[in-house]
């Protein structure tokens, strides 16, 4: 994992209200946040290099969350990816986990559970007990 001075959570969601809500939530936990409306925006520049965790919607125009996950795996296979969706489909969830997703949430989700998942995804070491985080 790329280590940065302050952990950065990257949010990708085409809904501006969701992006703003997640940004406020994650910043309230003392984490740095970058938000993007489209998956392609994350693949440009140094965004991936600085990311400690990525939270993405499944359904988005042009490139969906699963396609984004496949592209990220080529450059940053260790980057934790957390999915959120309002349109749940068991097959999509299975594919996300098969491709290495850390967590998968259905909208609406519990904000505290999402924060806990982000922290677990970013800080958990192999074999570490989740109750210690």
Question: Does a structural domain hold residue 3?
Answer: no
Residue 2 lies in a domain: no
Low-confidence ranges of the chain (pLDDT < 50): 1-4, 125-133
pLDDT at 44: 75
Asked, for residue 131, whether it belongs to a domain, the answer is: no
| Encoded tokens for 58 | 């499944």
User: Does some domain include residue 85?
Assistant: yes
Report how far residue 10's alpha carbon sits from residue 29's, in angstroms, rounded to the nearest whole number: 14
Q: Is 38 domain-assigned?
A: yes
Q: Domain for residue 130, yes or no?
A: no
**Enclosing domain of residue 52:** 8-125
CATH of the domain at 25: 3.40.50.2300
Instruction: Note the pLDDT of residue 22.
Output: 97
Kind and range of the H or E run holding 10: strand 8-12
105: in domain: yes
pTM: 0.88
Reference 65, options 90, 45, 46, 93; nearest CA is 93
Helices then strands, each counted (H, E), the chain: 6, 5
How many structural domains is the chain composed of? 1
Specify the pLDDT at position 3: 45
Is 133 within a domain?
Answer: no
């Amino acid at each position: 994992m790329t280590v940065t001075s302050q952990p950065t959570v990257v949010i990708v969601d085409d809904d501006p209200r969701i992006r703003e809500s997640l940004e406020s939530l994650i910043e309230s936990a003392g984490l740095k946040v970058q938000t993007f409306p489209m998956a392609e925006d994350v693949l440009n520049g140094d965004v991936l290099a600085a990311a400690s965790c990525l939270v993405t919607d499944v359904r988005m125009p042009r490139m969906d969350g699963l396609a984004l996950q496949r592209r990220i795996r080529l450059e940053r296979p260790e980057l934790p990816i957390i999915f959120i969706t309002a349109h749940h489909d068991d097959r999509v969830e299975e594919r996300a986990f098969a491709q290495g997703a850390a967590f998968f949430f259905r909208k609406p989700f519990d904000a505290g559970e999402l924060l806990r998942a982000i922290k677990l995804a970013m800080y958990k070491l192999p074999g570490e007990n989740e109750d210690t985080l």
